[in-house]
Amino acid sequence: MVLLTRKIEFSASHFYHNPNLSAEENRRIFGKCNNPHGHGHNYTLEVTVAGEPDPVTGMVLDLKELKEILESEVMKRMDHRHLNYEVPELAGQIPTCENIARVIWQLLEPRITQGKLHRVRLYESPDLFADCYRNGASGAGN
Amino acid sequence: MNGDALRVELGRRYRFVASHRLHSQRLTEEENYRVFGKCNNPYGHGHNYVLEVSLSGRIDPATGMIANLADLDAFVERHVLEEFDHRSLNEDVAAFRHKVPTTENLCIEIFHRLKHFPHAQLELVRIQETGNNSFEYAGNTEGDRL
Domain extents in chain B:
3-137
Q: What is the pLDDT of residues A4-37, one digit of tens each?
A: 999 999 999 999 999 999 999 999 999 999 999 9
The dihedrals phi and psi of A100, each to the nearest 5 degrees, come to -65, -40
The residue of chain A with its CA nearest to that of B57 is A98
Q: What dotted CATH number matches A2-132? A: 3.30.479.10
pLDDT at residue A41 tops 50: yes
Q: Which of A115-119, A133-137, B32-36 has the lowest mean pLDDT?
A: A133-137
pLDDT band at A136 (very low <50, low <70, confident <90, very high): confident
* Rounded distance between C-alpha atoms, residue B96 and residue B118, angstroms: 26
Q: What is the pLDDT of residues A59-70, one digit of tens each?
A: 999 999 999 999
Q: Is A34 on the interface with B (CB under 8 A)?
A: no
Cβ(B59)–Cβ(B65) below 8 Å = yes
Domain extents in chain A:
2-132
pLDDT at residue B141 tops 80: no
First to last CA, chain B: 30
pLDDT at residue A124 tops 70: yes
**Nearest Cα to B136, choosing from B107, B105, B102?**
B107
**Nearest Cα to B84, choosing from B47, B115, B121, B120?**
B47
What ipTM, to 2 d.p.?
0.87
pLDDT band at A50 (very low <50, low <70, confident <90, very high): very high
C-alpha distances (whole Å) from B79 to each of B51, B83, B93, B111 are 13, 7, 12, 11
Q: What is the pLDDT of residues B95-132, one digit of tens each?
A: 999 999 999 999 999 999 999 999 999 999 999 999 99
Instruction: Please report residues of A whose CB lies closer than 8 A to that of B115.
Output: none
pLDDT at residue B9 tops 90: yes
The residue of chain A with its CA nearest to that of B11 is A129
Question: Selecting from 3.40.1190.10, 3.40.50.11930, 3.30.479.10, 3.30.70.270, what CATH number does the domain B3-137 have?
Answer: 3.30.479.10
Predicted TM-score (pTM) of the model is 0.89
